[in-house]
């Protein structure tokens, strides 16, 4: 059986079409969600930096106040994210 250029092009288009349909299915929503939300990640990063700054404070009561304020700022930031 001889394969003509017309049949070859039809087969290639069919294979390419199947690949185009199968490619988005291989990207599951769970893998996309693992990246996280940029806004909430930004809030968490800011909180970690502020908390690290609070850990330098030698007095426990002042350190706890600083950590509590940093946490409040993080929560406010997360609420602005949407």
Cα–Cα distance list, 20 to 3, 8, 15, 37, 81 (Å): 24, 18, 9, 28, 34
pLDDT digits (tens, 9 = 90+) for 14-61: 776 676 666 665 555 544 555 678 999 999 999 999 999 999 999 999
Using pLDDT thresholds of 50, 70 and 90, give the confidence band for residue 5.
Answer: confident
* Distance separating alpha carbons of residues 82 and 70, to the nearest angstrom: 19
- Domain locations in the chain? 5-81
pLDDT at residue 65 is higher than 80:
yes
Q: Is the pTM above the cut of 0.75?
A: no
> Which has the closest alpha carbon to 43: 4, 7, 79?
79
């Amino acid at each position: 059986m001889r394969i003509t250029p017309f049949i070859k092009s039809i087969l290639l288009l069919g294979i390419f079409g199947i690949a185009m349909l199968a490619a988005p299915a291989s990207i599951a929503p769970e893998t996309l969600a693992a990246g996280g939300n940029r806004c909430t990640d930004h809030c968490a990063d800011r909180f970690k930096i502020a908390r690290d700054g609070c850990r330098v404070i030698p007095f426990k009561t002042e350190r706890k106040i600083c950590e509590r304020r940093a946490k409040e700022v993080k929560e406010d930031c997360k609420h602005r994210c949407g």
